[in-house]
Structure 1
Amino acid sequence: MTADERTHDLVVYGASGFVGRLLAAHLAEHAPTATRIALAGRSRERVAAVRDGLPGAAREWPVLAADSDDPASLAALAAQTRVLVTTVGPYLRYGLPVVEACARAGTHYADLSGEVLFVREAIDRCDTVARETGARIVHACGYDSVPSDLATMLLADRAAADGAGGLTDVRLVATARGGFSGGTIDSARAQAEAVGRDRTLRRVLADPFALSPDRAAEPGTRQPRDAAPPARTPDGRWTAPFVMAPFNTRVVRRSNALQGWRYGRSLSYGEVMGAGRGPQGAATAVGVTAALAGVFGAMSFPPTRAVLDRLLPAPGSGPSAAVREKGWFRSVVDAGTEDGRRYRATAAGRGDPGYAATAVMLGETALALALDGDRLPDRAGSLTPATALGDVLVERLRAAGHTYEVQPA
């Protein structure tokens, strides 16, 4: 089936979920009017209620039903559209059949996954098929891991343009303001449950090159610890472990490898969270470190995980509109190069990073896949934002109000 024979340019699967509703609203406001968009989910009635609350012509978008437990419904859904973007998580529980349906149908795919185990299994199952059908399978298209992936790409491009050689020591410091969602907690829970069933998966999670396309070919460059203790930067800022570093770092390293280590075979990439300066910054760093250790430790054991289930937000919930509006994110990435020059990239935007800003990132990813195909890198298979979309996504996000810039440090 050719692209012209598809009924839809873009389908949002999971449109009645928390992020799905935000994504639908973004597309209703920013997609060109001629874009053929449909909304899908398990319950046609719930999806229709979301559609009916959208502005203007979006109220006429088709509503489709599909269930991740029904492979035939997913195959039919994928066959109807050029692009399928899914917010249905945890992806480790519900995502693999969707990826498989898109890979087989030659349908471009985007998700919000921040789950190493899911992405690793999706690569193993679907990369070869997707390359054969021409499908671009793009994981990690939200706050996890678009700022990390695109900022590192821009740093490598600037260093190459200046003749500075490949990147060496690269460190991202993330600061943000926003809320937490039950969906994010549920993703962490799903991975903890998977490890509980199969202890060998711990080695996958611990491997700094867990998402590599060719693990044996990876260089032996030492990588930073994901859970480094509180530390102080040369300019006096305190840092703590960043909750998404164990995922984002693997995505960036996969981007490097997929491009023949274009960023540099000596790339050492790490991420931390900025905690502020002075005694207050030190206290924040210590507190965040202890809290993350406590939560992840409790997630590892069924009895304590059950206690957390009663205390943490439930799936389908998320921050209020007021919290989303007041949120923001800023990722500052410092990089050294092979010839000793240094550069700094900044990726920043308004809105709660995991939800309001993520809806922008995922929405622009979906529109790029649907509308900018002739400008995208000539790649198919299991990809990352940088390798699938590159500068096209950077341009779209800048136009949407996000900052992506690089300058000498």
Structure 2
Amino acid sequence: MARSAESRKYDLVVLGATGYTGKLTAQSVAKNFPGDLKWAIAGRSKTKLQELAAELRGIRPDGSHPEIEIVDLEQTDQVDAVVQQTKVCISIVTYWRVGEIVVEACVKHKTDYVDAAGEPSHLKGWIEKYHEKAESEGTALIHASSMYSGPQDLLSWAAARELKRAFGADTKEVILTNTKLDPNPSGGTFEGMMVGTSKKQESKGPVAPPNPWIVSPIPGTAVHPQATGLLIREDPDLGLLSEYSMARLQNQAIVYRTWGLLQVANEGLGPNFQYNEYDSVGSKVEGFFKMLEFRIITTLLSNILTLRLLKLFMPAPGSGPDVRKTATHPIEMQALAIADGNDAQRATASFSFPSGSYHTTALFLSQAAASLLYSKSLEGGIKGGCLTPAILGEDFVQRIRAAGAVIEISSKQK
């Protein structure tokens, strides 16, 4: 029997805390959470956890200091023992290897959960196995709360909501544009890319085209983006846009899950809703070279032999880019929602954060956990299930702002 939330030892456990992203997330918790937080950092290595705990005490000496939990993530009983002691679990683990052990434990013990897992075909399996049970028992599993696809999902929802508030209009399309990104991968991210590529090459038969609604509870309406022969699109508000955005398909799938969940909950963004993602470019020539760069990179990343060669130059699992350098690489993006039936009615939501991708992931993981712990005010009257960052709604927006990001939302009629 699952323990009641009131009887649990911890408010929050960061599982996988000694990895590259885990450390950043634990630092974000230490910096931003209330001083009376009861929490723990959990992982396999006692020595690494002790070193991290000492570091966290230095971030905020008068704040709440974490306890240490030694956990072998491949041992179900050990994962169960920690998960059942906490109200909220942040899981920053190797999702393709041990991620499901953590998800299953959280559903079993009715522990709310946050992760950075966003690969659509991977999430589809979890949704099929755990969504209905988690939904019926009010356990919230927030997936993809990372640089990819947390800001994109939250901005798309915020822009569409503002369009509804300002004009009473459904959204025909959200155009999201990345203006500043920090794409340097960690060792764990690169390892996951290698596993995904290896599985694709081992599979037999033709590769099916990507299904944008693969994790949505209902299918949507397909509308083709308005691009030229070079796949450059021009918008009067956003300027020139290159279709070759690296995580476009993953982010699209996550945004469509948000859309589908809200449509089912009768709080929909509009029946014809569409999401398209681009990178901002200064000219069509820049867009052309962006296309070449994208095709070269995707070709390299689709070959396992090339990836094995690149691995020699990549960080080892558990490590990543220099934290001090990436802390000065800002992230900026903007979502534009266009009304269904009236292109003149528009709403925008923008996001900026002064630090890089993994700092942004730490921000989204920690503040999603805070939203579940202190509010759990989910959109559309949703109580639980396999959910997305945007389902945390306005409370999440405010917490992201309070932790140092800038989110601006506005509307206009041309």
TM-score in terms of structure 1 length: 0.90
Deviations 1:43-70 (A, max 9, x none): 2221121111112256842100222211
What is the distance in 1 between the residues matched to 2:90 and 2:124? 19
Query: Residues 173 and 272 of structure 1 are in contact (CA less than 8 Å); yes or no, is this contact kept in structure 2?
Result: yes
Query: Residues 164 and 337 of structure 1 are in contact (CA less than 8 Å); yes or no, is this contact kept in structure 2?
Result: no
1:222 equivalent in structure 2: 223
Deviations 1:186-219 (A, max 9, x none): 222222233234447943x7111111124xxx23
Aligned pairs for 1:264-283 (under 5 A) are 264-277=270-283, 279=285, 281-282=286-287
Deviations 1:228-247 (A, max 9, x none): 95414245525241111111
Query: Residues 344 and 406 of structure 1 are in contact (CA less than 8 Å); yes or no, is this contact kept in structure 2?
Result: yes
What is the distance in 2 between the residues matched to 1:295 and 1:303? 9
Aligned partner of residue 386 in structure 2, secondary structure: strand
1:263 equivalent in structure 2: 269
Aligned pairs for 1:58-137 (under 5 A) are 60-89=65-94, 91-137=95-141
Q: 2:35 aligns with which of 33, 36, 49?
A: 33
Aligned pairs for 1:252-401 (under 5 A) are 252-260=255-263, 262-277=268-283, 279=285, 281-282=286-287, 284-298=289-303, 302-340=304-342, 341-373=344-376, 377-387=381-391, 389-401=392-404
What is the distance in 2 between the residues matched to 1:225 and 1:188? 30
What is the distance in 2 between the residues matched to 1:28 and 1:222? 44
2:148 equivalent in structure 1: 144
Identity over aligned pairs, percent = 25
Aligned partner of residue 53 in structure 1, secondary structure: helix
Query: Residues 41 and 47 of structure 1 are in contact (CA less than 8 Å); yes or no, is this contact kept in structure 2?
Result: yes
Supply the RMSD in Å over aligned alpha carbons.
Answer: 2.5
Query: Residues 117 and 191 of structure 1 are in contact (CA less than 8 Å); yes or no, is this contact kept in structure 2?
Result: no
Query: Residues 36 and 63 of structure 2 are in contact (CA less than 8 Å); yes or no, is this contact kept in structure 1?
Result: no
372-381 or 289-298, larger mean C-alpha shift = 372-381
What is the distance in 1 between the residues matched to 2:65 and 2:313? 40
Extract unaligned runs of 5+ from structure 1. none
- The offset of 1:8, in angstroms, is 0.3
- The answer on 1:2 being equivalent to 2:4 is yes
Q: 1:248 aligns with which of 240, 248, 251?
A: 251
Q: 1:77 to 1:287 in 2, by over 3 A?
A: same
What is the distance in 2 between the residues matched to 1:201 and 1:397? 42
What is the distance in 1 between the residues matched to 2:101 and 2:197? 21
Query: Residues 221 and 273 of structure 2 are in contact (CA less than 8 Å); yes or no, is this contact kept in structure 1?
Result: no
Deviations 1:384-404 (A, max 9, x none): 1112x1111001112223222
Extract unaligned runs of 5+ from structure 2. none
Residue type matched to 1:263 in 2?
A: L
- The offset of 1:374, in angstroms, is 5.7
What is the distance in 1 between the residues matched to 2:315 and 2:82? 31
What is the distance in 2 between the residues matched to 1:201 and 1:51? 49
1:183 equivalent in structure 2: 188
157-166 or 283-292, larger mean C-alpha shift = 283-292
How many residue pairs get aligned? The number is: 398
98-107 or 283-292, larger mean C-alpha shift = 283-292
What is the distance in 1 between the residues matched to 2:390 and 2:119? 18
Query: Residues 166 and 264 of structure 1 are in contact (CA less than 8 Å); yes or no, is this contact kept in structure 2?
Result: yes
What is the distance in 1 between the residues matched to 2:103 and 2:55? 29
Q: 1:320 to 1:312 in 2, by over 3 A?
A: closer
63-72 or 334-343, larger mean C-alpha shift = 334-343
What is the distance in 1 between the residues matched to 2:23 and 2:140? 24
- The offset of 1:254, in angstroms, is 0.6
